[in-house]
Amino acid sequence: MAPRLSARAQAAKAERQDRQAAALRANLLRRKAQARSRQDADSPAEPTPSVRPETGKPKPCP
């Protein structure tokens, strides 16, 4: 059987759990943002078309 906590100890435990929950949420948001930035960095930029859309002819080489 678990020991009973005093009102003060229960309040301290609740505060600790609230702080932990907030820290976990912040960590999750940070990890999601980090994953998004890695995904953006990994995806190549849109290639420029090598054909002119108005004529359908290839673009000249620079």
Q: What pLDDT is attached to residue 41? A: 82
Residue 9, CA atoms < 13 Å, CB-side half-sphere: 4
Predicted TM-score (pTM) of the model is 0.55
Average pLDDT over all residues of the chain: 84
Question: pLDDT tens-digit profile of 18-48?
Answer: 999 999 999 999 999 999 999 888 776 665 6
Residue type, 57: K
**Statement: residue 4 has pLDDT above 80:** yes
* DSSP state at residue 51: B
- Which one is predicted more confidently, 6 or 40? 6
Angstrom distance (rounded) from CA 50 to CA 40? 24
Residue 42: the pLDDT is 78
